[in-house]
Amino acid sequence: MKKDTVYLISDAHFGIDLQGCEAREALFFKWLQEISPEMSELIIVGDLFDFWIEYKSAVRPDYFPVLHALKNVVEQGIKIHYLAGNHDFALGTFLEEKLGIIIHHGTFDAEIQGKKVHIFHGDGLIKRDIGYRILKKVLRNPFNQKLYKLLHPDLGVALGTLVSGSSRKYLRPVLKESIINEYRQNALCLLKKGNDIVVFGHTHRADLCRFDSGIYCNTGSWLINYNFASIKNGELQLWRYREGLSPEEIHCSDLKNGSSVS
C-alpha cells in the first residue's frame, strides 16, 4: 500500500487520571496499526501527554506503552512531528534523541502535498484569557523550569498533574461557542496571509471550516471523541475513530471570508 497520507492528532492527554484511560490508549495503539500502511507522516498537534517534565534519568513509567508505540512508527520509516502543547510544553531532547521524533516549539509551517499548512497547538489565542497567559509565562520561564527539575520526580509529577487539571477550567461549556468563534477568526487571518490550511488543537472540539481563502481544521481531542485528521491528495478530512467500524467523517462548514463564524 502506498504511503500517501499525513495524519494529525492532538489532545489525547495520556497519563490523565480519568476513567477509561487504558481503553483510550488501547484504541490509540490500534489506530496507529491500522493507519501505518498508508501513513507517510504523523503530526501530533500538542498535548499527547497530560503532563511532561523531562528529567535526565527518569521517565514516567505509565508513558512507556505510548512511547514504545511511537518508536515503532518511526522504525517503519514514518516521520513523526510533535508540536509542544500547553500540557507538554517542556519537551526536551529525549523524544528526538531516543525515539527520532521531530520536536517543534511554537508553530510548524510545512508544505504538504502542494499545500501551505500552518499548524499550532492553539493555546494562548484567546485574548481575554489573561490568567492563562500569565500562568504560561511563569511556567515556561527557563529559570523556573530549572528549579522545578530540582524536585524529586514523584513530587514534580504530582504537582504538575495538579496544575494540568487547573489549566483546563477555562474551557467551560458556557464559553465554548465564543472560543470556537475566536479560533476561527484567528485561522481566517492566517489563511488570508497565504496559507492553504490552518490546523489548531487545544479546544477539544473538532471543527472543520472552508473559507474562500482556505481550510481551517481543529483536530478536536482523542481524549473525549477519538478525533483525528488526514491529508491525502491535498485534501484535508476530519474524522472520529470507531472501534470495529469505519471512521466517521466530520463534514465541513462552508464560510465566507469576513462572514460571521459563530
Residue 75 has pLDDT above 80, yes or no: yes
Render pLDDT for 179-238 as a digit per residue (tens, 0 to 9): 889 999 999 999 999 999 999 999 999 999 999 999 999 999 999 899 999 999 999 999
Render pLDDT for 88-127 as a digit per residue (tens, 0 to 9): 877 888 999 999 999 999 999 999 999 999 999 999 887 7
pLDDT of residue 220: 94
Report the range of poorest mean pLDDT among 145-159, 207-221, 245-259. Answer: 145-159
pTM for the whole thing? Answer: 0.85
Range(s) of the domain holding residue 35: 5-254
Is 102 within the bounds of a domain?
Answer: yes
For the residues of the chain, what is the DSSP string, one character each?
----EEEEE----BT---TTHHHHHHHHHHHHHHHGGGEEEEEE-S-SBS-----SS---GGGHHHHHHHHHHHHTT-EEEEE--SSSTT--SHIIIII-PEEESS-EEEEETTEEEEE---TT--TT-HHHHHHHHHHH-HHHHHHHTTS-HHHHHHHHHHHHHHTTTT--HHHHHHHHHHHHHHHHHHHHTT-SEEEE-SSS-EEEEEETTEEEEEE--TTTS-EEEEEETTEEEEEE--TTSPPEEEPPEE--TTS---
Is 22 within the bounds of a domain?
Answer: yes
Is 199 within the bounds of a domain?
Answer: yes
Residue 242 has pLDDT above 80, yes or no: yes
Is 262 within the bounds of a domain?
Answer: no
Q: What CATH number has the domain bearing residue 177?
A: 3.60.21.10
Domain count, the chain: 1
Report the range of poorest mean pLDDT among 12-21, 55-64, 159-168. Answer: 159-168
Is 259 within the bounds of a domain?
Answer: no
Is 74 within the bounds of a domain?
Answer: yes
Is 35 within the bounds of a domain?
Answer: yes
Is 45 within the bounds of a domain?
Answer: yes
- Quick one: pLDDT band at residue 260, thresholds 50, 70, 90? very low
- Quick one: pLDDT band at residue 256, thresholds 50, 70, 90? low
